[in-house]
Amino acid sequence: MASTWTLSSPFLFCTSSIPRRNINFTYNKRLCSPRSKLADATTSMETSIRRSANYAPSLWSYDFVQSLSSNYTGEKCMTRSSTLKEVVRGMIRNEVGENPLALLNLVDDLQRLGLSYHFVDEISNVLEIIYINCYKSDKDWTKMDLNLKSLGFRLLRQHGYHIPQEIFKDVIDENGNVKEHFYEDVVGMLNLYEASYHSIEDESILDDARISTEKYLKEVTKNVTDETMLSLIRHALNFPLHWIPPRVETMLFLQMYERRSDMNPKVLELAKLDFNMVQVVHQEDLRYASSWWKETCWEKFCFGRDRIVENFMWSVAENYLPHFKGRRDLTKVNAMITTIDDVYDVYGTLQELEQFTDVMNSWDVNAVKQLPHYMQICFHAFYNTINEMSYNVLTKEGAFILPYFQKAWQDLSNSYIIEARWFDSGYTPTFDEFLNNAYMSIGIAPIIKHAYLLTLTNVSEYELNRIGIAENMIRNACLIVRLTNDMGTSSDELERGDVPKSIQCYMHETGASEVEARRYIKTLILDTWKKLNKERRAIVSEFSHEFLDCVVNLARMGHFMYTDGDKHGKPDMFKPYALSLFVNPIEGLP
């Protein structure tokens, strides 16, 4: 498919030279249908050459989103939820000191079912007891059951405990393979596989464990007859638990847990009820986001992606908990990044983009007079939204955080303009040159900066500056999203004539084939996760778990949104997830 460009006039004031690409031009008299007043206001202006990504329209109309509702509200649901939570607390208390593996399995189920936020203190106490009794000393490691060893390792590392990789030293043979007598324990091998993704740099034992168990699990799927176990294995091979957003995992794991022979009916009922009750909160937040999006008029920018539901998914992935008040602001941030990205990446001429970047760097609303009309609308909506967020913090917290926001957005714009210049000149950057800019241009850093503010209990200049401690962790999370994005979207982006992405830069620099380049990028993603795990462990005491989880969850969203394609750009790919997460409650409750 050749690159598609559009020769049209809406929103245009400036022209630019045609980029140095082999282009197929198409003539399109109207970018929007029905025609908007915003387009009419600038029609008949100077004609210019524009790219068009031909993004599919949104599947979710304003009226549909506003109609979302649920029956899982009110006193009856709250009362039943409270009763079931007390039952689960009793289950936790009954297992303490009796059966560490059963207790760890219960904690794991509660986390995967999205219920652990109700039992934070209980889980913290349980893990501390198990750590002291089973893991603090290495004297019994060689005698530990593989399941206890693997599941405990994963859960304890996840919660900030330092468990050395040497706990698995007796599991791996001299050739780097899991010893054959463990092959009879399919569940143990699956747990070891999941544990291996919590490795950090230079942990060769865990690397060997991951490679060996992955090979084993792929082979064993040919012989496993238990459909539930088969589903768990295939799910793990497709999405290692450490790489999947929690809310998505809950949606998928609920179906598997319900079919398990050891399923607890009370836990299942609570999980279904809680999922539906949290969905109610998400529907409220999504209705708000949809109204804001409509008021911005950005939905009429027909060159861009109308993706308010998909952008809401990013904020849910960052923090799905019902008490989190930042989802609405984060959805605005996500949506603005998507639109501004399309201005730079698809529609704006280089001259316009240079001007827009100058205005972003000056933060001078009076300077918008030099911009074309569509950019004036874009900047005004953006400027007003960011200033309103800053004003709310100033009135509630007494902290002036506008410069903090400004810097985040200016860094993003400055990375965008670098790519625009590369595109205009036909320049292919080196692989390192691309990554040094692209970790910022993926747009995750501003989201994290806003999320950090929204998770602070005390907003002050001191606290705002402390985010620098997490710089390496943030960079690695951004890089993971960038690389997963490139793996899923680079083919489509090259078809429409975008600047080369990491895969193409690596191929150009090394002479590698696309298959070899993709294999290298997959390895780089894995290595970057190890760095992220290491950085999180190093700063776990410096920040709230809420903020650290947000950073990791954004990295996970890279895998979710871009594995096997572009769920953010292609609405049909995301539709079944949107229906399950935001529209349809889980059935089967009493």
Distances (CA, A) of 420 to 71, 497, 507: 49, 12, 21
* Terminal C-alpha separation, the chain: 52
Report how far residue 13's alpha carbon sits from residue 352's, in angstroms, rounded to the nearest whole number.
9
Q: DSSP letter at 371?
A: S
Would the CA dihedral through 294, 337, 480, 458 be positive or negative? negative
Q: Return the closest-CA partner of residue 310 out of 335, 293, 287.
A: 335
Q: What is the pLDDT of residue 138?
A: 56
pTM for the whole structure: 0.91
**Token couple for 521:** 């990028």
Q: What is the pLDDT of residue 51?
A: 67
Q: Return the closest-CA partner of residue 499 out of 333, 350, 306, 298.
A: 350
CATH number listed for the domain at residues 96-263: 1.50.10.130
Q: What is the pLDDT of residue 18?
A: 29
Report how far residue 532's alpha carbon sits from residue 25's, in angstroms, rounded to the nearest whole number.
44
CATH number listed for the domain at residues 428-583: 1.10.600.10
Domain ranges of the chain: 96-263, 428-583
Q: With helix as H, strand as E and coil as C, how does 53-120 read?
A: CCCCCCCCCHHHHHCCCCCCCCHHHHHHHHHHHHHHHHHHHHHCCCCHHHHHHHHHHHHHCCCHHHHH
**Token couple for 261:** 């022979």
Distances (CA, A) of 230 to 211, 258, 557, 564: 19, 14, 24, 21
CB burial class (10 A; 0-12, 13-18, 19+) of residue 73? middle
Q: What is the pLDDT along the chain (590 residues), one digit of tens a residue?
A: 333 333 333 333 232 332 333 333 232 333 333 334 444 433 333 345 666 667 889 999 999 999 999 999 999 999 999 999 999 999 999 877 678 999 999 999 999 999 999 999 999 999 999 998 888 765 567 788 999 999 999 999 999 999 999 999 999 999 999 999 999 999 999 999 999 999 999 899 999 999 999 999 999 999 888 999 999 999 999 999 999 999 999 999 999 999 999 999 999 999 999 999 999 999 999 999 999 999 988 877 878 899 999 999 999 999 999 999 999 999 999 999 999 999 998 899 999 999 999 999 999 999 999 999 999 999 999 999 999 999 999 998 899 999 999 999 999 999 999 999 999 999 999 999 999 999 999 999 999 999 999 888 888 888 989 999 999 999 999 999 999 999 998 666 556 557 789 999 999 999 999 999 999 999 999 999 999 999 999 999 999 999 999 999 999 999 999 998 999 989 999 999 999 999 999 998 87
Distances (CA, A) of 511 to 174, 506, 519: 36, 8, 14
CB 176 within 8 Å of CB 144: no
The total of other beta-carbon atoms located within 10 Å of residue 544's CB is: 12
Q: What is the pLDDT of residue 297?
A: 84
